[in-house]
Chain A
């Protein structure tokens, strides 16, 4: 148990650390006690409020599973539509023609600077006003549209970073054997950068899954979060229990995606199948700055 930030503890440091540990545990215990008495005081810890999730399968079949299904459908649709769109935008940003580059750049910067919720509200109203979509499926359309517009522009940056991260020699070699620009992109750069981008794409999935909850709170989309209210109405105001279960489902789902992305990344870094370029899973947040053109970021000096 040692890090560069501190020496291996001697007897005095060990005693002090024990003291800190005890103090911190005491603070945590006090916090837990405060939450516990608060919950118990409002009757939120009664078994009847938590039992339905274990004993009554209808909670799952009527509320939670359909909600989860809608969440996953919206997220999957958004990713499937946003990916090709993002690829096109990302490649367009690397174009040699200034107007193509400029247009794609403006579109990307525009949609990254605007909150997803604003995009969803706009899409919802636009579908109501200009399109013939049944009110039942409109929330899904609006949520997916908002997610696609935002995430396509984030994925465009991921694609751009992935292509830029490839060694220059790759396109030089392609040019040397007489490939044209389109061929270089299709046969040399894209296939390699797709593997490099996988971790970033998987971790963007987490952002998409999380943002579907906006539709539940603001547009009446019946996803996982939206199932809390009807559940609490049907099972005796078990709001806290409902929120806990919904949050745990989200955490498990997203944590699985996050660790999958991290595993993928370390695997790709170890493997020698691509040209050695990897867009890290946590690069997405850094790529998502409006106004700043982040290209190839050098790796920070590692620490063992």
Chain B
């Protein structure tokens, strides 16, 4: 029944999906935190830049960003991110696009987390004489992170699903393999079931696990 799977590297494609997810998750967590810090910082120019970035990037379709990294950045401007084979270049470009896009959502999640930290905590920190960086780094962000595990899990799940967009620039991940298999094999329903199951296996446990973690680490108030 499943002999149509022969000749196709389905686990390999999903492994690429996982790798895309992990690299982009790490990148967007970093860049998103920086953006969130900018958006609450005392320097107006940084606040303005943070707001501008989030509003612009959130409203561009991810597909446009990903296709742009390939057609615009690579083919027109010659940005290859230090790689020389097409597969590696496209993979890195996809990670770049996914990071740039997802960071906006990480930033928004973190900002809502910053808003849940009680006023008294911040006032106490300021009363102790801590500067902005210390208030943010020692008091606010640690609590904010603990309260946004849930929303960040949503962002991670959305990112996992969004990695399929990398198929648009030929990164050999799950969606691209699915399209190829649909074209070549007659087993449409079974092929789709396999890929649907793959994504359910990736996303459902992530949601359940991080939901559980979120409840565990949430600051009790």
Instruction: Report A's interface with B, CB cutoff 8 A.
Output: 1, 3-7, 9, 13, 17, 20-21, 24-25, 28, 38-39, 42, 44, 109-110, 113-118, 121-122, 125-126, 129, 206, 209-214, 216-218, 225, 228-229, 232, 237, 239-240, 243, 246-247, 250-251, 253-255, 258, 282, 285-286, 288-292, 300-303
Contact = CB atoms under 8 A, between A and B. Distances in A.
Contact of B204 (A206, A213, A291): A291
A250 B60 contact: yes
Contacts of A285: 105, 151, 154-155, 158
Interface of A is mostly: helix
A144 to B, nearest CB: 16
Given A115-B199, A240-B76, A291-B207, A122 B61 contact: no
Interface string B20-51: 00000000000000000000101111100100
Contacts, number: 199
Nearest to A256: B59
Contact of B153 (A117, A240, A289, A303): A289
Contacts of B132: 5-6
Contact of A121 (B66, B182, B207): B182
Given A38-B77, A301-B118, A288 B45 contact: no
Interface residues of B, number: 73
Given A3-B40, A24-B46, A240-B77, 10 more contacts: A38-B77, A115-B164, A117-B165, A121-B192, A122-B182, A211-B61, A250-B60, A288-B158, A291-B204, A292-B208
Interface string B55-95: 11011111110111001100111110000000000000000
A292 B207 contact: yes
B6 interface: no
A239 B116 contact: no
B76 A255 contact: no
B103 interface: no
Given A214-B63, A251-B60, A290-B204, A118 B42 contact: no
B9 interface: no
Given A206-B59, A240-B72, A225 B64 contact: yes
Nearest to A257: B59
Interface string B165-196: 10110000011001100100000100010011
A21 B42 contact: no
Instruction: List 6 A-B pairs, minimum CB-CB distance, nearest first.
Output: A291-B207, A254-B59, A217-B168, A210-B61, A213-B63, A213-B61
B59 A114 contact: no
Nearest to A297: B150
B157 interface: yes
A3 B78 CA distance: 43
A217 B63 contact: yes
B42 A13 contact: yes
Contact of B43 (A5, A20, A115, A290): A20
B154 A286 contact: yes
Contact of A300 (B59, B60, B112): B112
Contact of B40 (A5, A229, A247, A300): A5
Contacts of A286: 150-151, 154
B98 interface: no
Max chain B CB contacts within 10 Å: which of A110, A206, A289?
A: A289
B96 interface: no
Interface string B130-155: 01100110001000000100110111
Contacts of A5: 40, 42, 122, 132, 135-136, 140
B179 to A, nearest CB: 5
